[in-house]
Structure 1
Amino acid sequence: MIIVTGANGRLGRMVTERLLACLPAEEIGVSVRDVERARDLGARGVRVREGDFTDPERLAHAFEGASRVLIVSTDSTGETAVRHHRTAVEAAAAAGAERVLYTSHMGSSPSSPFPPMPDHAATEEALQRSGVPFTSLRNGFYAASAVMLVGAALETGVLAVPEDGPVAWTTHADLADAAVLALTGEVLDGLTPPLTGPEAIDMAGIAEILTRLTGRPIRRVVVSDADYRAQLLSHGVPEHAADLLVGLFAASRQGEFAPAGPALAELLGRPTTPLADVLEEMAARTA
């Protein structure tokens, strides 16, 4: 049985749906915090069990009989995230899983200024110490984050964010396809190469793409980290979230999310999705 955690989230649900397209439902299980939200999966024959990274006993039940477990990283950061991930890794090993897979990031590093990256690095250490074969999927930066960062620019005509660097934006769909291949085959082992979209693009490049797509000028303006943080706080963004976003730009200008690599396209056997396609969908929705 293949177990997917976080199947109520965007990536976890995509992976589960793709598994259903290639495996019998009785060979798939999901570990979710809210069983009711996964009721539709249960109706289709998927084993749905409550699992919480804070509760080893529930995870033991959720992971029972697992041959492979995909641990989708949590949306928390810091020691909390690392503790949750370690608990999940230990539970998967205790359940007898033959392989543990984890959604890491191409920028995984203990010294990154972007808070999730040290968490990924610490989780990868836990995987290496687990004694179980593992695959750490070093995913490219989600293209959906680019949509979030630039959405207001379509209204204002100004993309005002801190100094940045190129980012290898990558779609959830492409990464879900890669995860399924890793869960069902023998294609990736250990720390993977960066699994990225086809090109690394900075904010100036995104402004150019938006200008072309909309036919309206989108001007890229550089603001200081401090001014950007203050602006976020003035709009009601919590301090920890503002610090997270500032750290994202700091890490990108250090080159932590570039360059784009060929590994994902080679694994999928097809071209990966360019950021322009994602931005075109966004522009069409807001037109």
Structure 2
Amino acid sequence: MIVITGATGQLGRLVIQNLLKTTPAAHIVAAVRSPEKARDLAAQGVVVRQADYTQPASLVAAFQGAEKVLLISSSEVGQRLPQHQAVIEAAAKAGVKLVAYTSILHADTSPLGLADEHKATEALLTKSGLPHVLLRNGWYTENYVGSAPAAAAHGAVLGAAKDGRIASAARADYAAAAAAVLVAQDQAGKVYELAGDTSYTLTELATEIARQSGKPVAYQDMPQAASAEALASMGLPAGLAQMLAESDVGASKGGLFDDSKQLSQLIGRPTTPLAESVKQALAG
């Protein structure tokens, strides 16, 4: 059995849909905080088990009989490490044979503040002795193109990335990679640096939004604090705005760039082009 934690999240659902193409639904466990939110998965035959990162006993029960567990990193930045530790300890108690963890691109050398908890989680996995594979996910293109309609309306893409190149990929690309690793053999010990086939600057993103929207859009580079404030004023939650601004600064230092193409090699197709993601975002 393959257990997907955080299965009702955006990434978790996509991973399960990919797994269903090759794996019987009865062999897939959706480990979720609120089972009522997974009724659609249960209707497809997926096994739904209650599991909360803050309730270790629920994790041990959810992992019973599991051969593999996909630990999708917690969305609660600042609380991730104890939550991830609970998952790792539960997996060990349940005798899980492989843990796959969604880390961050180049976690060991990343200039992004977000990398700290991922790096610490990787260390916990090593210390645990559990066989594991690291899916070091780069940036989701959705993090930037989600604000494409607002950028078209206001005539500006706001950020603090300077000319840093961003090799992002669509969430669906990362989900396909996770599913591919979960059904493959001999994955323990592997580290995948996952990023988009092509990279872009935020100036190039603004140009693409302008091209598709038919409206003038320019990139406006700002200091980190000003960028976070501006993003929040455009409707983004304050926490997300802060995270994006901080990550932009990391991008200016190369933190969101990788050209190894390991992601497209893993999924057997090119990663989703930026133009396609912009098109989807503008279509609403």
- Bin of the TM-score, shorter chain as denominator length: over 0.9
Q: 2 CA distance for matches of 1:234 and 1:206?
A: 20
Amino acid at match of 2:20: L
Give the SS at the match of 2:194.
Answer: coil
In structure 2, relative to structure 1, the CA distance for the partners of 1:250 and 1:174 (3 Å cut) is: same
Show the counterpart of 1:207: 206
Kindly indicate whether residue 29 of structure 2 is the aligned counterpart of residue 50 of structure 1: no
In structure 2, relative to structure 1, the CA distance for the partners of 1:219 and 1:232 (3 Å cut) is: closer
Show the counterpart of 1:161: 159
Shift of 1:232: 4.4
The question of whether the paired residues in 2 share the 8 Å contact of 1:77 and 1:115 is answered with no
Give the SS at the match of 2:146.
Answer: helix
Q: 1 CA distance for matches of 2:233 and 2:179?
A: 41
Amino acid at match of 1:216: K
Between stretches 248-257 and 183-192, larger displacement belongs to 183-192
In structure 2, relative to structure 1, the CA distance for the partners of 1:242 and 1:97 (3 Å cut) is: same
Q: How does 1:131-280 map to 2 (within 5 A)?
A: 131-164=129-162, 165-186=164-185, 188-232=187-231, 240-280=239-279
In structure 2, relative to structure 1, the CA distance for the partners of 1:281 and 1:241 (3 Å cut) is: closer
Q: 1 CA distance for matches of 2:214 and 2:235?
A: 31
Deviations 1:255-285 (A, max 9, x none): 0110332111112222111111100112233
Shift of 1:227: 2.0
Q: How many residues align structurally?
A: 283
Give the SS at the match of 2:192.
Answer: coil
Deviations 1:66-90 (A, max 9, x none): 1000011111112x11110111111
In structure 2, relative to structure 1, the CA distance for the partners of 1:238 and 1:11 (3 Å cut) is: closer
Root mean square deviation, CA, Å: 2.0
Shift of 1:214: 2.1
Amino acid at match of 2:80: A
Deviations 1:138-184 (A, max 9, x none): 11211110113444211011223224311111111111111111111
Q: 2 CA distance for matches of 1:48 and 1:99?
A: 20
Amino acid at match of 1:159: V
Q: 2 CA distance for matches of 1:272 and 1:237?
A: 26
Give the SS at the match of 1:29.
Answer: strand
Segments of 5+ residues of structure 2 without an aligned counterpart are none
Amino acid at match of 1:229: A
Q: 2 CA distance for matches of 1:233 and 1:281?
A: 22
Q: 1 CA distance for matches of 2:171 and 2:56?
A: 28
Identity of aligned residues (%): 36
The question of whether the paired residues in 1 share the 8 Å contact of 2:32 and 2:50 is answered with yes
The question of whether the paired residues in 1 share the 8 Å contact of 2:158 and 2:221 is answered with yes
In structure 2, relative to structure 1, the CA distance for the partners of 1:236 and 1:184 (3 Å cut) is: closer
Instruction: Return the TM-score normalized by structure 2.
Output: 0.92
In structure 2, relative to structure 1, the CA distance for the partners of 1:197 and 1:70 (3 Å cut) is: same
Show the counterpart of 2:39: 39
The question of whether the paired residues in 2 share the 8 Å contact of 1:138 and 1:191 is answered with no
Kindly indicate whether residue 81 of structure 2 is the aligned counterpart of residue 82 of structure 1: yes
Deviations 1:34-78 (A, max 9, x none): 100112222332211100111110001111111000011111112
Q: 2 CA distance for matches of 1:187 and 1:217?
A: 50
Instruction: Return the TM-score normalized by structure 1.
Output: 0.92
Amino acid at match of 1:214: S
In structure 2, relative to structure 1, the CA distance for the partners of 1:139 and 1:269 (3 Å cut) is: same
Segments of 5+ residues of structure 1 without an aligned counterpart are none
Give the SS at the match of 1:4.
Answer: strand
